[in-house]
Amino acid sequence: MARKCKITGKGPLTGNNVSFSQKKTRRRFLPNIQTKKIYVPELDRHVRIKMSVRAMRTVDKIGLMPFLKKQGLTLKDVVS
């Protein structure tokens, strides 16, 4: 299962865990990816998309189709 947002393309980042003694060990920072069912009024149906919570907030604000257009994507590109 890829931990990647279908809309924004956000994926895991790497960095360090730093202990009190300043020892550094490698770790991954995972994005907050959720599967969400969204109603698309243009198609009069629901679609299920795996997306980051940041993208969810934007979709709630401006709508799915305008956000996809802004990102240069179509609905077919992101439907899981």
> How do the pLDDT tens digits run along the chain, 80 residues long?
589 999 999 999 999 999 999 999 999 999 999 999 999 998 899 999 999 999 999 999 999 999 999 999 999 998 86
Cα angle: 50, vertex 51, 55; to 5 degrees: 160
CA quadruple 43, 44, 50, 52: dihedral positive or negative? positive
pLDDT at 2: 81
Q: Which option is the CATH number for 13-74: 3.10.105.10, 3.40.1780.10, 2.30.170.40, 3.40.710.10?
A: 2.30.170.40
- Residue 29 neighbours by CB under 8 Å, 6+ apart: 12, 13, 14, 15
| 28 close to 12: Cβ distance less than 8 angstroms | yes
For residue range 18-35, what is the model confidence (pLDDT) as tens digits?
A: 999 999 999 999 999 999
Full-model pTM: 0.80
